[in-house]
Copies of this chain bind each other. A is one copy, B any other.
């Protein structure tokens, strides 16, 4: 028996996403990036960490190291992996329910700490796997199964939240622009520190936003000054994750350098420890 499937990097697990699901585009972008890492002989260093939801199935489909964790907890798991072995390339896959609902505390702290991870939010603005409830980025009035009369809440803007939380790499991409997405993921992996990507990923079944995104998505021009927080905020506010938009910028909103958590917090060497001598010295 073998874990490998019929195409490079795939496993034998049958894909169970709905036809038309935005996750297919995301998967192929990730594969593209992983194939590059394979060429560089780094594939064995990659660890994918996922939450629970439609997005999370991605780890079953890829024949690389992975930790299929629990709903909302991608980031602490990924953090633990990176701390314990900083030579690993750790990529988190979360849903928007995962990342912005159940697990938002970890997201803020990952940004604050600048732990060296890449974090991809498969943001379909709906709970997919639990059959269509509103999430923190669903537009107000969204009719999901827990809010059949319309969601009573304004959506969060995760780009703003990340900027306020001191993230050092803040990006958005769209599965409808696969090259762009692959490029952003590569840049995120290169970034030394916490790299956040909100990936617009239509849920064909419960919240089909393809037309909307196709209409309004605009790539951020290269002239955008990435290290400028005000400029990043201005771009971030062009779309509030509401039902309407004038323009939805995608690309890297913000990127700066700052020491990583691993550099700042981990002990430098693991000395050999002489228990007997230590105890004699300190406990008598």
| A interface residue numbers (CB < 8 A to B) | 104-105, 108-109, 112-114, 136, 152-154, 156-157, 160-161, 163-166, 233, 258, 261, 264-265
Contact = CB atoms under 8 A, between A and B. Distances in A.
Given A161-B165, A164-B161, A233-B233, A261 B153 contact: yes
Contacts of A152: 113, 261, 264-265
- Listed residue (A109, A113, A164, A265) with the most chain B CB atoms within 10 angstroms of its CB: A164
Nearest to A156: B112
A160 B157 CA distance: 13
B112 A153 contact: yes
Report the copy number of this chain in the oligomer. Answer: 2
Contact of A161 (B161, B233, B265): B161
Nearest to A261: B152
Contacts of A265: 152-153
B156 A108 contact: yes
Contacts of A112: 136, 153-154, 156
A109 to B, nearest CB: 8
A163 B113 CA distance: 20
- Listed residue (A104, A152, A261) with the most chain B CB atoms within 10 angstroms of its CB: A152
6 contacts: A104-B105, A112-B136, A112-B156, A152-B265, A153-B261, A161-B165
Nearest to A229: B237
A153 to B, nearest CB: 5
What 9 A-B pairs have minimum CB-CB distances, sorted nearest first?
A152-B264, A152-B265, A164-B164, A160-B164, A105-B105, A104-B105, A161-B164, A113-B153, A112-B156
Given A108-B156, A164-B165, 13 more contacts: A104-B105, A104-B108, A112-B153, A112-B154, A112-B156, A114-B154, A152-B264, A152-B265, A153-B265, A156-B165, A156-B166, A160-B164, A164-B164
A163 B166 contact: no
B166 A154 contact: yes
Contacts of A160: 164
A166 B161 CA distance: 10
A233 to B, nearest CB: 7
Contacts of A164: 157, 160-161, 163-165
Contacts of A163: 164
Nearest to A160: B164
A121 to B, nearest CB: 15
- Listed residue (A113, A136, A154) with the most chain B CB atoms within 10 angstroms of its CB: A154
